[in-house]
Amino acid sequence: MNIIIKQIDAEFQEKRNSLPDFNTGDTINVHVKIKEGNKERVQQYQGIVIQRKNAGTNGETFTVRKISNGIAVERIFPSTSPTIDKVELLRKGSVRRARLYYLREKSGKGARIKESRKGYNPEAKK
């Protein structure tokens, strides 16, 4: 049984390694595959990461929150999901908490997150 678990872990390790190194408070752009009828397209979902659960495991998930037409939308993505095409890191945020649930009560300027200046350069990857 232990061999089976190791095989599954190795299989999903490549998928987890393909994701950029992002944390809570970062702004990311998730490219999600959506199937409509017999067609498949890629939709972008851009927002702030408010939590990451079970990091480094096959059950790892991350929650992304965005404001769409004045309505807050949160979406939970499994990191090993086949529906995720790619994840782009847009901005590193500087936060002190691992879970940013307090953003649910904030809006406008109160919901802003400071940008981290530590060694992140988005143009360096291009």
pLDDT of residue 9: 80
Q: Is residue 96 part of a domain?
A: yes
Instruction: Answer yes or no: is pLDDT of 124 > 90.
Output: no
pTM attached to this predicted model: 0.83
Q: Is residue 24 part of a domain?
A: yes
CATH number of domain containing 39: 2.30.30.790
pLDDT of residue 75: 96
Q: What tens digit of pLDDT does each residue of 76-112 get?
A: 999 989 999 999 999 999 999 999 999 999 888 888 8
Closest CA to 97 of 62, 52, 59, 31: 52
Burial of 17 (0-12, 13-18, 19+ CB in 10 A): exposed
- Cα–Cα distance for residue pair 16/85, rounded to 1 Å: 12
Q: Identify the band that residue 12 occupies on the pLDDT scale cut at 50, 70 and 90.
A: confident
Tokens encoding 37? 């009828």
Q: Is residue 7 part of a domain?
A: yes
The answer to whether 89 and 26 are in contact (CB under 8 A) is yes
User: Could you tell me the residue range of the domain that residue 9 belongs to?
Assistant: 2-106
Tokens encoding 85? 């095409």
Q: Is residue 114 part of a domain?
A: no
> Based on the structure, what is the number of domains in the chain?
1
Residue with token string 């529906």: 83
Q: Identify the band that residue 32 occupies on the pLDDT scale cut at 50, 70 and 90.
A: very high
Instruction: Answer yes or no: is pLDDT of 120 > 70.
Output: no
Q: Is residue 42 part of a domain?
A: yes
Q: Is residue 112 part of a domain?
A: no
Q: Is residue 118 part of a domain?
A: no
Q: Is residue 84 part of a domain?
A: yes
